[in-house]
Chain A
Amino acid sequence: MSVRKNWSIAKLLLGGYTASVVSLLIYLPIFLLILFSFHAKAFFSFPFAGFSLRWYMAMFEEEFLFRSLGNSLIIASIVTAAAMVLGLPAAFTFASLRGRKKDVFIMFMAVPFVIPWLLIGVASLIFYITVGMELSFLTVVLSHLTYSIPVVVIIVGSRLLTYNIRLNEAAMDLGADQLQVFRKIMLPQIFPAVAAAALITFIWSFDNFIITYFTIGSDLTFPIWVWSSIRYPKKLPIVNAVSAIIVIVGSLIIYLLHRKGLLEEII
């Protein structure tokens, strides 16, 4: 009896602790960001000087903002599609290998993923300049792919490892050909992993700053626009308003995907 009571006190304490850490460390800055996007004044400080939508209005006068958002969406889409085309087949290779070959293959694939991405940015910049490629969108896409392909191979490949191949055998016993097996049995099972890989690739590319910073040249993506605007006190509230919209819309999209059961693979 006393043990049980102790546990429930522990549960309450730990629950309260979890709630406070998550709200203070993760949600507080985001809450403030959204709050101050409605601030009537241009600075982020207390006391709060009243609500206003002026920064949301001012947003529409930022020509570079919309251009950069468009660019980021295009880059993230191309990166996601190309990472799928290049990475999915390699995920099958990964799942089919055994022993030492598998270790070598995964090591080769995983290195870009396990080093600081700053180094991808630096090495890319040096490489493009040395071979005489002009820095632009193209170089950003090429560099984002160096970590995105491993992401796809690792996420989808791990899922394939646990795939029960007897399902294929059963389907073939029942007269299905290999294409049917792939389409009707395998694809539905690995689809959540593929979707998760695509989502992660897209978000990471859209949000990527560190590699983009070194490889973009004079073009703009959204994080680069934020970087160049964030230190101007005049621009900061506008950056904030856009960010509030992106945080809310982005969270909603991820939440909806979760409701559809597409995120099980990530957690």
Chain B
Amino acid sequence: MLPSRKGLLTWLGRRRWINWIPSTTYLLLLFYIPIAMLMYYSFWRYLKLFRFEPALTLENYLRFFTSPIYTRVLLNTIFIVGVAMALLLIVGFPIAYFIARYVRSSADRIILLMLIPVEINYLIRIFAWRTILGENGILNSFLVAVGVIEKPLPIFFYNWFAIVIVTMHEWLPYVVIPLYISLRSIPRSLYEAAHDLGASRLQTFLKITLPLCKPGILTAIFIVFIPALGEFAIPALVGGKSGYMIGNMIENQLLAAGNWPLATAASVILLATSLIIVGIMVKILGMEALYR
């Protein structure tokens, strides 16, 4: 009489098609079809401002990859996000290590303390960095005060490195959390064993901590890299000329230049780049990484 585990979950789930039909239909209609449409437009032919005709041409992709400007924008995007990602891992790792090793009992509170501010009011926080990096900002005032430079320099803002800084501000907690979860699961006895066997700090770090932290590092890359690739508000607000990213190019082609075929082709290229990254991650970490 007693329903089995499977039976009960089936009662709640699979047998009831009404549970999954609405959400999957929704995504099909309002996500997958629009994405398919986006791909379709990328093969159309551009005539003039907001005018294009149906076609099956690769000329938009050719134009993207043969133009030194667009390929540079793509490489520039990957470079900026890559630098931000590397710095995030380097800066975030000691924090995660500190939380996992010394203050685990208050880990929730520390992480929340990092998380709350970055969840609120994204645009204005981007702009607030001008107070620090701008020509009359704190950094310049400080450097002038200590005598490193003579007068304020306009070099810290409106360039690609400002994007790196703001991206780090935006994503630091999301790098620390997976690293912390990985580090937390390393049993302390392993460190003790390494110490007993005469391993140095560096050896322990390279042979135990780092390899066991791999899932955390990969998850962090997964969480940060992809949204950062498609960012367009940060570069538009703080990036200046050297911080022109593919998101800006897509927005510009779509809304201002009126070249949907080129904008959608660039979108498909961005989509492909992201899906390749997701694919690699899923391959390494397994599908569970998506929901664990």
What is the interface of chain A, defined by CB distance below 8 A to chain B? 3, 11, 14-15, 17-18, 21-22, 25-30, 32-33, 36, 43-46, 86-87, 89-90, 92-97, 103, 105-112, 114-120, 122-127, 130, 142-143, 145-146, 149-150, 153-154, 157-158, 161, 165-166, 168-169, 172-173, 178, 203, 207, 209-210, 214, 223, 226-227, 230, 236, 239-240, 243, 246-247, 250-251, 254-255, 258, 263-264, 266-267
A226 — which chain B residues lie within 8 A by C-beta? 121, 123-124
A21 — which chain B residues lie within 8 A by C-beta? 91, 95, 172
In chain B, positions 195-236 with a C-beta closer than 8 Å to chain A are 195, 222, 226-227, 229-233
Nearest CB of chain A from residue B268's CB, rounded to whole Å: 9
Q: Which 5 A-B pairs have the closest CB atoms?
A: A116-B230, A96-B13, A45-B136, A127-B34, A118-B230
Which of A87, A143, A210 is the most central at the interface, judged by chain B CB atoms within 10 Å of its CB? A210
Interface check B254, CB cutoff 8 A? yes
Contact between A250 and B120, CB atoms less than 8 A apart? yes
Contact between A46 and B136, CB atoms less than 8 A apart? yes
25 A-B pairs (CB sep. < 8 Å)? A15-B103, A25-B165, A26-B114, A26-B118, A26-B172, A33-B128, A46-B138, A93-B13, A94-B291, A108-B24, A109-B24, A116-B274, A118-B232, A119-B230, A125-B254, A127-B30, A127-B33, A145-B26, A149-B23, A165-B5, A169-B8, A172-B2, A209-B122, A247-B120, A267-B107
Which chain A residue lies CB-closest to B22? A86
Contact between B136 and A158, CB atoms less than 8 A apart? no
Q: Bound complex: CA of A27 vs CA of B131, how far in Å?
A: 13
Query: Do A230 and B124 contact each other (CB < 8 Å), given the known contacts A90-B24, A267-B177?
Result: yes
Q: Bound complex: CA of A36 vs CA of B222, how far in Å?
A: 36
Nearest CB of chain B from residue A235's CB, rounded to whole Å: 12
Query: Do A3 and B195 contact each other (CB < 8 Å), given the known contacts A26-B169, A46-B138, A246-B121?
Result: yes
Contact between A111 and B31, CB atoms less than 8 A apart? yes
Contact between B121 and A44, CB atoms less than 8 A apart? no
Nearest CB of chain B from residue A191's CB, rounded to whole Å: 16
Q: Bound complex: CA of A40 vs CA of B107, how far in Å?
A: 39
Q: Bound complex: CA of A242 vs CA of B254, how far in Å?
A: 31
Contact between A158 and B274, CB atoms less than 8 A apart? no
B124 — which chain A residues lie within 8 A by C-beta? 33, 226, 230, 239-240, 243
Contact between A251 and B120, CB atoms less than 8 A apart? yes
Contact between A106 and B250, CB atoms less than 8 A apart? no
Query: Do A254 and B19 contact each other (CB < 8 Å), given the known contacts A14-B102, A210-B232?
Result: no
Other-chain residue from A112, A118, A154 in contact with B291 (beta carbon distance below 8 A)? A154
Interface check B117, CB cutoff 8 A? yes
What is the interface of chain B, defined by CB distance below 8 A to chain A? 2-3, 5-6, 8-14, 16, 18-20, 22-24, 26-27, 30-31, 33-35, 37-38, 41, 91, 94-95, 97-99, 101-103, 107-108, 110-125, 127-132, 134, 136-138, 141, 165, 168-169, 172-173, 177, 195, 222, 226-227, 229-233, 237, 247, 250-251, 254, 260, 263-264, 267, 270-271, 274-275, 278, 287, 290-292
B132 — which chain A residues lie within 8 A by C-beta? 28-29, 32
Query: Do A96 and B169 contact each other (CB < 8 Å), given the known contacts A86-B22, A169-B2, A172-B2?
Result: no
Other-chain residue from B27, B37, B227 in contact with A127 (beta carbon distance below 8 A)? B37
Contact between B130 and A44, CB atoms less than 8 A apart? yes
Which chain B residue lies CB-closest to A225? B123
Which chain A residue lies CB-closest to B119? A203
Q: Bound complex: CA of A116 vs CA of B287, how far in Å?
A: 19
Other-chain residue from B9, B38, B230 in contact with A165 (beta carbon distance below 8 A)? B9
Q: Bound complex: CA of A15 vs CA of B102, how far in Å?
A: 9
Contact between B137 and A45, CB atoms less than 8 A apart? yes
Q: Bound complex: CA of A86 vs CA of B91, how far in Å?
A: 39
Q: Bound complex: CA of A44 vs CA of B130, how far in Å?
A: 8
Which chain B residue lies CB-closest to A263? B112
Contact between B229 and A116, CB atoms less than 8 A apart? yes
Contact between B38 and A17, CB atoms less than 8 A apart? no
Nearest CB of chain B from residue A139's CB, rounded to whole Å: 10
B127 — which chain A residues lie within 8 A by C-beta? 230, 236
Q: Bound complex: CA of A210 vs CA of B236, how far in Å?
A: 12
Contact between A30 and B128, CB atoms less than 8 A apart? yes
Other-chain residue from B103, B165, B222, B250 in contact with A118 (beta carbon distance below 8 A)? B250
A264 — which chain B residues lie within 8 A by C-beta? 108
Q: Bound complex: CA of A84 vs CA of B122, how far in Å?
A: 25
Contact between A126 and B117, CB atoms less than 8 A apart? no
Other-chain residue from A110, A130, A149, A251 in contact with B26 (beta carbon distance below 8 A)? A149
Q: Bound complex: CA of A231 vs CA of B107, how far in Å?
A: 39
Which chain B residue lies CB-closest to A12? B102
Which of A46, A94, A267 is the most central at the interface, judged by chain B CB atoms within 10 Å of its CB? A267
Other-chain residue from B10, B24, B168, B237 in contact with A25 (beta carbon distance below 8 A)? B168
Contact between A86 and B116, CB atoms less than 8 A apart? no
Contact between A146 and B27, CB atoms less than 8 A apart? yes
Contact between B131 and A115, CB atoms less than 8 A apart? no
Contact between B122 and A119, CB atoms less than 8 A apart? no
Nearest CB of chain A from residue B279's CB, rounded to whole Å: 10
Query: Do A14 and B97 contact each other (CB < 8 Å), given the known contacts A30-B128, A267-B108?
Result: yes
